């Protein structure tokens, strides 16, 4: 799944929260970067007390320390792509946005994380406007699920693929350069994702996999986009390869025996 070009190993930076259970957040991101041939770096925005059964506590990192982490990485190491995940609150969003404007990485993937699978809030509801106003205009691509897209737009959640596409166009108009609308919440046997850009709308259908092991899928997909985009020619090729890899990671999740709740996907299914 990785590029055959051996000239340069790409570098990917995750700006996200930590998952103590290892299945989501920066842990999932760094596993994904490694699995897809990128050197991974991290800026922590929050600590979570978390396992496969849910999130029991969140400790946000002070914004000034997030800025210090960004300065440390960008001042010394080439960053080919950035993935943003859990940002917790408006002050953290502003700090991250300022660093991205300062260093201007080529590819920025924004995973609009708001609520964990177990239902715990990972973004202060008052910070949704900051996420939309400060980070959407900086994002090369955003990856909202249907509830997140609805929250960003202040509308009802999409219930059809056409409504998904309409909301994707609205998010494009709000400033994102590309939008990957994730359709897993539609239900049914298919999980349709739609890539919306100024030039095209491309459907990426996939059969739903019957498994409870889907912890960290959103984090993993957005991290895969960040890892692969510098190795691919465009977003269509990047999304195609990232989604194919993720589906295989989900299909192999049953091989893991992690926790008693919603288990993680198998990031290293190609090796063990």
pLDDT given for residue 185 in this prediction: 76
DSSP state for residue 118 in the 8-state scheme: T
**Among positive and negative, which fits the CA dihedral 119, 120, 122, 123?**
positive
- Residues 153-183: pLDDT tens digits? 999 999 999 999 999 999 999 999 999 999 8
Secondary structure (DSSP) of 126-148: GGHHHIIIIIGGG-SEE--BHHH
Alpha-carbon distance 164 to 150, whole Å? 10
The secondary structure of the chain in percent helix, strand, coil, rounded to multiples of 5, reads 40, 25, 35
% of the chain with per-residue pLDDT over 90: 83
Which of helix, strand or coil describes residue 204? strand
Catalytic positions, written as ranges: 182, 214, 216-219
Q: What is the pTM of this model?
A: 0.95
| Burial group, residue 11, by CB count within 10 angstroms (0-12, 13-18, 19+) | buried
């Amino acid at each position: 799944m990785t590029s055959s070009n051996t000239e340069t190993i790409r570098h990917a930076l995750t700006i996200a929260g930590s998952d103590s259970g290892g299945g989501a957040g920066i842990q999932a991101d760094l596993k994904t970067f490694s699995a897809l041939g990128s050197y991974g770096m991290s800026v922590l925005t929050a600590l979570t007390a978390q396992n496969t059964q849910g999130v029991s506590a969140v400790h946000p990192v002070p914004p000034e320390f997030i800025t210090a982490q960004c300065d440390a990485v960008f001042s010394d190491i080439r960053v080919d792509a950035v993935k943003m995940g859990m940002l917790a609150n408006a002050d953290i969003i502003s700090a991250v946005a300022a660093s991205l404007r300062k260093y201007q990485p080529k590819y920025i993937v924004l995973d609009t994380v708001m609520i964990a699978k177990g239902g715990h809030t990972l973004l202060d509801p008052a910070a949704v406007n900051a996420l939309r106003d400060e980070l959407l205009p900086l994002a090369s691509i955003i990856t909202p699920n249907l509830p997140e897209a609805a929250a960003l737009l202040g509308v009802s959640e999409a219930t059809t693929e056409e409504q998904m596409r309409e909301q994707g166009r609205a998010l494009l108009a709000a400033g994102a350069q590309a939008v990957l609308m994730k359709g897993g919440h539609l239900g049914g046997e298919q999980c349709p994702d739609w890539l919306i850009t100024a030039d095209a709308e491309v459907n990426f259908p996939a059969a739903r996999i019957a498994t409870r092991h889907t912890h960290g899928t959103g984090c993993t997909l957005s991290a895969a986009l960040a890892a692969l985009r510098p190795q691919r020619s465009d977003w269509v090729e990047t999304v195609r390869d990232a989604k194919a890899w993720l589906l295989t990671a989900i299909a192999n999740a049953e091989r893991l025996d992690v926790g008693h709740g919603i288990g993680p996907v198998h990031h290293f299914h190609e090796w063990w």
